[in-house]
Structure 1
């Protein structure tokens, strides 16, 4: 391979690294729902992590609300305590029962969970911080491929942002998309293989429970590795450019 070809390839690798770094920042700009470990399954239990970034230069986040559609028939939501925040799970009595993911009638499904920052807590103003809120939910619906979890973010200057717009397949992303999480097809192997297995080593706690160990070390390690690869690509490309210029002289 000629020196010019090597130089072009190096610069391309560096550009890809920069694009990856920039893409990571853009992707984290909205409230999102994520799964670390096994994907939540239809009809089973699943662990979902809501990631909430602060986006106001002059205000901090002090309240986060996530809504669950009554028709999902989710009968249980447990949350991992977050230092500096309190949480409350709300169930709503329905005049007509709905069926959950195991085809059981549910009259009081979970419809909301609200995290509220304690005095002096919450996310600081600016765009440097985010907070993750982890929950486990069951029984997840068996008749949908994607859970849509509209969220409301409240700032300490009373500004309220609704993350509740549905995304259209193949269409442009809306300005304030609702957090969504895809559900894996139900397994015939039973509950031992659904996403609740993720909770065996990292149990979620209801209000008043004790927090468990961190759940996303692997995901963060992988994310850090990806950033490192991108940075190395940038350095390699710049070094190759300098060497190419010296060789030309």
Structure 2
């Protein structure tokens, strides 16, 4: 095990929601709240993004070990709770199958943190999220003023956290974090990037794993929320990049091909 892996394992925690964000409303109807079951009982929640009417993109540490589940697309807490969260309800859609990247390693989840959920019933929308082209994010590493490159993080979960106070709800929220680090040989490698997480830009925290980080204000998923550096969800948030050629090929050929 190399120094990089040891360093990451010491500090990284799987990340789960949007902090200091704004209510999403109907801006991203293809982003849903996923509840994963283990042996028939709800075990954890994540966020995910529809790539088609039945294919949802999320994180590998969300899908790994799950045996079932369901998703909601409501954008406010009252509707979700009224429909029986975290159990099935009138507006929930059950999973048909759950898939984790064949390269996923639970001992170092951040290296290939990718999962796919297939829904049992199609969710028909006017448009869905799309994947980036292979290596599309590499150009950001060479661009001057990287801090001016923004993403749109969307998800459900904790709004604030500190040692004595936690603020949580089940609203779909969004934030606009900025790029901090990418293609760094000392930390992020070529598999992830760090985005800002502060009061000015917002960021991600517990409750948002697997949620999309759209490139700018586009519908292109630059990466999925993957990890945090500390338990207070402050400073930066880790995002697993979706412009890796082997991931794009796996998703397109296995799940999106006609």
- Identify, as 1 or 2, the structure richer in helix: 1
With normalisation by structure 1, the TM-score equals 0.25
Larger Cα-atom Rg? 1
- Identify, as 1 or 2, the structure richer in strand: 2
With normalisation by structure 2, the TM-score equals 0.24
